[in-house]
Amino acid sequence: MSTIDAATEISATMAIALDTALENGGRLVRHAGGYWAPAGAPRDHNGLPVERFGTTTVAGLVARGRMEFSQWRETRRSEGRRRHPLRFPIEAKVLEESSLCP
């Protein structure tokens, strides 16, 4: 296996996340706690999406060119008297070519 193949290969969890996104309009959204799931996903008794994925799973798909972050939230974090801008992704979408690749 070449270095390029190893860098673009995805784990089983990433493949499930990609399939879940494709089955739900090609998008995953960030939920409270940093979990990623389809918008409107069913919730468990704790209020978390039943089928959810960690930030590293989605970031891995973005890093491998399978998804891209499509919406961001901007806020400010306070540290003493200073307020620092903070920007983080809240939606990821499947890139078109990913729907053709296993």
pLDDT digits (tens, 9 = 90+) for 34-46: 899 999 999 999 9
Q: pTM for this one?
A: 0.81
d(CA 80, CA 78): 6
Q: Which residues contact 34 (CB under 8 A, 6 or more apart)?
A: 54, 55
Most distant pair of Cα atoms in the chain: their distance: 52
pLDDT band at 30 (very low <50, low <70, confident <90, very high): very high
Q: What is the mean pLDDT of residues 21-26?
A: 96
Q: What pLDDT, on the 0 to 100 scale, is given for residue 99?
A: 57
**Domain of 56, in residue numbers:** 3-99
Domain count, the chain: 1
Structure tokens at 42: 């069913």
